[in-house]
């Protein structure tokens, strides 16, 4: 059972690493229902984050992961998958 949860802080650091998008975790929390596009993250950037997480947690994510529109939607899906998956 995976106890680690992917947080907004981790997502912010992944956005920076995978897509060069700098966003303060606090701001990300405030805009967690905003579309990724308005945060400056394009679809390839999100795909890169999905790949990073899959490698990091050695766990595949569903195809829907890269289609998520907002940070909250994405983290909910990722964390539900990681919790239930293992």
Partner 1 sequence: MTTQRTQRPRRAAITGIGVIAPNGLRADAYWKSVREGLVVLDRITREGCEHLPLRIAGEVRAFDAAALIEERFLVQTDRFSHFAMAATVLALDDAGLGHGDPADPYDIGVITAAGSGGGEFGQRELQKLWGQGSRYVGPYQSIAWFYAASTGQISIRGGFKGPCGVVASDEAGGLDSIALAARGVRRGTGAVVVGSAEAPLAPYSMVCQLGYPEISTAEDPGQAYRPFTAGACGFAPAEGGAMLVVEDETRARERGAAVRATVAGHGATFTGASRWERSREGLAHAIRGALDEAGCAPEEIDVVFADALGVPEADRAEALAIADALGKHGTRVPVTAPKTGIGRAYCGAPVLDTAAAVLAMENGQVPPTPNVFDICHDLDLVMSSARPAELQTALVLSRGLMGSNAALVVRRGGDSAR
- Report the nearest approach of partner 1 to the CB of residue 67 (Å): 14
The 3-state DSSP class for residue 20 equals coil
Q: Which two tokens stand for residue 19?
A: 């897509």
Give me the half-sphere count of Cα atoms (radius 13 Å) on the Cβ side of residue 10. Answer: 15
- Report the nearest approach of partner 1 to the CB of residue 66 (Å): 9
Give me the residues that bind partner 1 (CB under 8 A), please: 16, 18-22, 40, 44-45, 47-48, 51, 54-55
Nearer to partner 1, 3 or 47 (CB): 47
Nearer to partner 1, 3 or 19 (CB): 19
**Which of 75, 76, 84, 82 lies closest to 15 in space, CA to CA?**
75
Nearer to partner 1, 29 or 54 (CB): 54
* Other C-beta atoms lying within 10 Å of the C-beta of residue 81: 20
- Report the nearest approach of partner 1 to the CB of residue 77 (Å): 18
């Amino acid at each position: 059972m995976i106890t680690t949860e992917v947080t907004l802080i981790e997502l912010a650091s992944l956005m920076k690493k995978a897509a060069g998008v700098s966003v303060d975790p606090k701001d990300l929390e405030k805009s967690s229902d905003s579309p990724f596009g308005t945060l400056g993250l394009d679809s390839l950037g999100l795909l890169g984050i999905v790949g990073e997480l899959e490698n990091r947690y050695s766990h595949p994510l569903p195809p829907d992961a890269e289609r998520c529109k907002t940070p909250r939607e994405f983290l909910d899906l990722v964390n539900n998958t990681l919790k239930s998956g293992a």
